[in-house]
Amino acid sequence: MPLIPSESLPYFEKMIYLPMVLTILERDRETVEKGPFKLKRPYVAMIDQAVKEAQRELKDTKLYLRQHNMKVIRGNHDDTFTEYVFFHGGYEEHRRYLNVRLRNRVEELLGVYLSIAKQAN
């Protein structure tokens, strides 16, 4: 039986993925601003809206973790795996994620946040 309740796992994973999503969106915004785009404003507005939505969700996730006395820390990593340590209710659980899986999930989430931004604009 896992020490970490299954309903808590999505919150732990959001704490892994959302900061990565925000980093990529911020880098992409810089690229668009410095790039040879004729009309940059629509792209920047879409990225800004996606950032706003991801930040809101990250804020909600941090609040949930704080209220439930949960914490996630990045552990060891190499070219293949990244380890994360989940703390909950006095227990700690080490989980290893394939870096390819992390990248693919972040790419998926980028699509989600950009489509939310597209609908909002």
Of 14, 13, 42, nearest to 29 by C-alpha is 42
60 within a domain of the structure (yes/no): yes
Q: Residue 116 domain-assigned?
A: yes
Strand partners for 119 = none
Spatial CA neighbour of 61 closest among 71, 51, 50, 52: 71
Instruction: Answer whether residue 22 is part of any domain.
Output: yes
Angle at 82 between CA 96 and CA 91, to 5 degrees: 50
The answer to whether position 103 is within a domain reads: yes
> How far is it, in rounded angstroms, from Cα 69 to Cα 36?
47
Could you tell me which of 18, 58, 19, 26 has the C-alpha nearest to residue 44? 26
Domain membership of residue 54 (yes or no) is: yes
Domain containing 89 equals 9-120
pLDDT band at residue 118, thresholds of 50, 70 and 90?
confident
- Residue-wise pLDDT tens digits, 46-100: 999 999 999 999 999 999 999 999 999 999 999 999 999 999 988 899 999 999 9
Q: How many domains does the chain have?
A: 1
Token duo for residue 40: 């940059």
Is residue 3 a part of any domain in this protein?
no
pLDDT digits (tens, 9 = 90+) for 4-50: 888 999 999 999 999 999 999 999 999 999 999 899 999 999 999 99
88, part of any domain: yes
